[in-house]
Amino acid sequence: MPYDAYLTLRSLDAGYGRTRVLEGVDLSIGKGEFVALLGASGCGKTTLLRTIAGFALPSAGSICVGDRDLTRLPPDKRGMAMVFQSYALWPHMTAARNIGYGLRLKGWRREAIAARVAEMEALLGLEGLGGRKPSELSGGQRQRVALGRALAVDPDILLLDEPLSNLDARIRLTVRHEIRALQQRLGITTIHVTHDREEAMVMADRIVILNKGRIAQLGTPQAIYTRPASAFVAAFMGAENVVQLNATCSANRVDIAEGPHNRAASLTLGLPAPRSGRLEARFRSEQLQLSRLGDEATDDTSCVELIGRVEAVVYPGGQWRHTVRIGKGSVLVDAAEALPPGSDVLVRVPTSGLFLFAAPADTPSGPPSAADGPSPVRDRLTA
């Protein structure tokens, strides 16, 4: 769904004292859009959210909502409300008083506050619980009170800082769905911080992947999952298997040279190919083909074929997960049938699940060398 820019961050830098955390963040979020900020611990997600909220001031750049420049405004003048990871409820106040807290600060009349609190309680399924203190509520109910307090003031933008991380796994799945449904019903622009990939995927219209204070990629969940822009994003989105290959590339064609642990292949990618040379190939453990070496059905040069040996096999549910040693490294391969440890195997990686990037500069280039280790299977392959 296309969105017109509503919240716009331009060249935002922020940090703590001399520690720079965010660098040159440019981001446009549409009205009514749900955006997830996803990244590893310490990458700056909370700092970005706090800077947008006004709890931290940027050292450079600007924050605008529509035509309004909010960069130097205090938090309460920004039309935003934040739900904190800890919920930050007042322990001595009832749920109802917590929900009405922001309205009292705004000077609303008592009857108007009571009506709005009742509305929030109904919206969030908290009827009958308004008289309880936070200590008398479950984690999920506390989380909803915090959400009610944020929504009661009718903010233009809702900021959620890992609000599900204190809930147990099963409740988290339900609350995830509830928050998304509520957000869509209210049409409220929302930014949600999480380090849970699946949570970001199922809740957000678009995902921002942050890496060391910079945006590594911004896109729909599907775009980021199927077309990661860098090796970092591919790894973060689950393509954690990695092997190095040598290839000659042009436009979207990639000719993989035979190596000590891979066969030659000619691939046509759906994406522009990286430049020729040493490549880092990344792929997920699912949607691969695993067969005993020599048992494979046909020669298939349209996928990457890796040669290795099964080291271990476990059953996490659904499929058998094999640890396959390939040269000095190993990859995880899921398959319907288990092949026992010690089996020499062929792993086929289809182009649809293959992500190719230029290998980092410190990796040796050129043809496979002794550095790639001995290649017992190569002789068998070329024999």
Task: List residues binding ligand ATP (CB under 6 A).
Answer: 16, 19, 21, 39, 41-47, 195
Q: What gap in Å lies between CA 72 and CA 154, rounded to an integer?
A: 22
Q: Which residues of 58-96 are buried (b: 16+ CB within 10 A; e: fewer)?
A: beebebbbeeeebbeeeeeebebbbbbeebebeeeebbb
Smallest separation (angstroms) from ligand ATP to the CB of 195: 5
Nearer to ligand ATP, 48 or 137 (CB): 48
3-class DSSP state of 366:
coil
Distance CA 368, CA 378 (A): 12
Cβ 233 to ligand ATP shortest distance, Å: 16
What whole-number distance in Å separates Cα of residue 311 and Cα of residue 293? Answer: 15
Our CB check for ligand ATP shows the closer of 200 and 254 to be 200
Q: Is 355 helix (H, G, I), strand (E, B) or coil?
A: strand
Minimum CB separation from ligand ATP for residue 158, in Å? 17
Q: Are 152 and 175 in contact (CB under 8 A)?
A: no
Helix (H, G, I), strand (E, B), or coil: what is residue 129?
A: coil
Residue 236 CA to residue 196 CA, distance in Å, equals: 10
Nearer Cβ to ligand ATP (50/261): 50
| Least Cβ distance, residue 40 to ligand ATP (angstroms) | 7
Residue 24 CB, nearest distance to ligand ATP (Å)?
16
In the complex with ligand ATP, which residue's Cβ is closer, 192 or 263?
A: 192
CB of 48 to ligand ATP, least distance (A): 7
Kindly state the smallest distance separating residue 4's Cβ from ligand ATP, in Å. 28
Residues linked to residue 211 through DSSP beta bridges, in sequence order: 214
Measured CA to CA, the distance from residue 97 to residue 102 in angstroms comes to 9
Q: How many residues does the chain have?
A: 383
Least Å distance, CB 302 to ligand ATP, is: 40
Q: Which is nearer to ligand ATP, 195 or 348 (CB)?
A: 195
Candidates 289, 276, 271, 278; CA nearest to 223 is 271
CB atoms near residue 8 (< 10 Å): 15
Q: Are 216 and 338 in contact (CB under 8 A)?
A: no
Q: Which residues contact 305 (CB under 8 A, 6 or more apart)?
A: 262, 263, 265, 346, 347, 348, 349
**Measured from the CB atom, is 194 or 246 closer to ligand ATP?**
194
Structure tokens at 276: 């020729």
Instruction: Measure Cα distances from 213 to 25, 37, 303, 364 in Å.
Output: 8, 11, 36, 29
- Which is closer to ligand ATP, CB of 146 or CB of 279? 146
Q: How far is the CB of 130 from ligand ATP (least distance, A)?
A: 31
Maximal CA-CA distance, the chain = 87
Instruction: Kindly tell me which of 36 and 245 has the beta carbon lying closer to ligand ATP.
Output: 36
43 vs 150 by CB, closer to ligand ATP: 43
How many CA within 13 A on the CB side of residue 304? 30
| Nearer to ligand ATP among residue 43 and residue 279 (C-beta) | 43
As measured in angstroms, the least distance from the Cβ of 22 to ligand ATP is: 8
Are the beta carbons of 315 and 338 closer than 8 angstroms? yes
